[in-house]
């Protein structure tokens, strides 16, 4: 293994590891509470819903572990991508019912960012490059489509900071100055990152900046100090489950941003090429810097 490959592994592997860890933790919550992730997984009521939630939790834990083994990585990548697409489809009824409400687009944007990370994993590990139907969804073209999805998804998430400045400022820790200004600033910054990725203007740097912002959101807004205190917002449920879920959702979206960054080359209109026949954990790391 060359020095460049070793550096690439060090830079990119954390994205997959962090995504797996976050998804597994969300799966554990589903098992413990026999429920889905609140509004992030708006599964309607039906007989046996709790059992389905447990099954989904077990699936998330199992697929997160399977991504780390050569023998199971390809199957896990395929299954995870389908699962995340099904998760995204849960947002369709809200879009059809309230297409003019920005908060609805915020919700679908958050999940679509997660799907983009799953798409990067699928494009890298699924071993479907030679299957005609999937040829454009894997390899470099798959990476670029995942970038585009991520970029488009970031835009309504950032725009929500502008549409809802008071709720956004309320989530900013009280010890920080200019909370309203920080809400506007982060919203504009997120939209700028999305446009930069979409237009391939230093997309890797933009994805890394988005990763950094999401990481700050996770720990400053939904960090461990919120798990044991009063609800962060007046409408939030009591107890640790809601802020912990919000923390983990932000965690996996940040991991998705890191995966997008790790498979993007600045100064190019597409990610670095896929190396055929290499579908291990290290495979994710081969496409990084130019």
Pairwise CA distance, residues 169 & 114, whole Å: 24
E strand map for the chain: none
pLDDT of residue 231: 77
Kindly report, residue by residue over 119-148, the tens digit of the pLDDT. Answer: 999 998 888 988 989 989 998 899 999 999
Rounded Cα gap, residues 103 and 124, in angstroms? 32
Say whether pLDDT at 59 is over 80: yes
Q: 152 or 271, which is more confident?
A: 152
Question: How confident is the model at residue 236, as a pLDDT?
Answer: 76
Q: Judge whether 114 and 256 are in contact, CB under 8 Å.
A: yes
C-beta atoms surrounding 271 within 10 Å: 27
Using the predicted structure, report yes or no on whether residue 82 has a pLDDT greater than 50. yes
Give the pLDDT of residue 227.
Answer: 87
pLDDT of 32 reads 96
Is 13 a residue whose pLDDT tops 80? no
Apex 191 CA angle, 189 and 194, nearest 5 = 110
Alpha carbons 106 and 260: distance in angstroms, whole number: 20
Percent of the chain with pLDDT over 70: 87
Residue 204 pLDDT: 93
What is the reported pLDDT for 267? 47
According to DSSP, residue 285 is labeled G
Helix 179-198 to helix 203-216 angle (10° resolution) is 150
Element (H, E) at 53: helix 49-66
Q: What is the pLDDT of residue 266?
A: 62
Assign 3-class secondary structure to 231-258.
Answer: CCCCCCCCCCHHHHHHHHHHHHHHHHHH
Q: Are 53 and 36 in contact (CB under 8 A)?
A: yes
pLDDT of 53 above 50: yes
pLDDT digits (tens, 9 = 90+) for 194-203: 999 999 999 9
14 contacts 208 by C-beta, under 8 angstroms: no
Nearest to 138 by CA among 159, 154, 114, 122: 122
Q: What is the mean pLDDT of residues 44-61?
A: 96
Confidence of residue 189 (pLDDT cuts 50, 70, 90): very high
DSSP state, residue 200: T
Mean pLDDT of the chain, nearest integer: 86
Are the C-beta atoms of residues 63 and 83 closer than 8 Å to each other? yes
The mean-pLDDT minimum among 55-69, 187-201, 208-222, 271-285 falls in 271-285
**Each residue of 207-246: pLDDT tens digit?**
999 999 999 999 999 998 888 877 777 777 888 899 999 9
Please give the average per-residue pLDDT across 51-64, as a whole number: 97
pTM: 0.86
The owner of tokens 């200004």 is: 181
Domain layout of the chain by residue ranges: 3-285
Query: In Å, what is the CA distance from 141 to each residue of 46, 48, 130, 211, 250?
Result: 39, 40, 13, 22, 27
Q: What is the pLDDT of residue 129?
A: 86
3-state helix, strand, coil in the chain (%, to 5): 70, 0, 30
Instruction: Give the pLDDT band (50/70/90) at residue 57.
Output: very high
Handedness of CA 166, 176, 14, 20 (dihedral sign): negative
């Amino acid at each position: 293994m060359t020095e460049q490959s070793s550096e690439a592994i060090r830079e990119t592997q954390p994205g997959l590891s962090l995504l797996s860890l976050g998804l597994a933790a969300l799966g554990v919550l589903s098992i413990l509470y026999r429920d889905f992730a609140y509004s992030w997984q708006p599964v309607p009521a039906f007989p046996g819903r709790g059992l389905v939630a447990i099954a989904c939790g077990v699936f998330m834990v199992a697929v997160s572990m399977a991504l780390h083994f050569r023998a199971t990585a390809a199957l896990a990548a395929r299954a995870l991508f389908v699962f995340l697409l099904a998760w995204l489809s849960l947002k369709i009824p809200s879009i059809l019912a309230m297409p003019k409400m920005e908060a609805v687009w915020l919700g679908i944007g958050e999940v679509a960012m997660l799907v983009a990370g799953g798409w990067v994993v699928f494009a890298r590990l699924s071993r479907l490059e030679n299957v005609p139907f999937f040829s454009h969804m894997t390899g470099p073209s798959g990476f670029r489509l995942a970038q585009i999805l991520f970029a488009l998804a970031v835009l309504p998430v950032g725009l929500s900071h502008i549409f809802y400045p008071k709720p956004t400022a309320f989530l900013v820790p009280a010890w920080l100055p200019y909370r309203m200004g920080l809400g506007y600033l982060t919203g504009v910054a997120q939209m700028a990152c999305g446009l930069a990725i979409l237009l391939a203007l230093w997309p890797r740097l933009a994805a890394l900046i988005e990763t950094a912002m999401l990481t700050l959101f996770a720990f400053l807004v939904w960090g461990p100090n919120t798990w044991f205190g009063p609800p962060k917002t007046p409408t939030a449920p009591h107890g640790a489950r809601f802020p912990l879920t919000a923390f983990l959702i932000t965690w996996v979206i940040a991991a998705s941003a890191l995966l997008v960054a790790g498979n993007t080359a600045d100064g190019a209109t597409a990610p670095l090429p896929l190396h055929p026949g290499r579908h291990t954990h290290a495979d994710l790391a081969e496409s990084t810097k130019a």
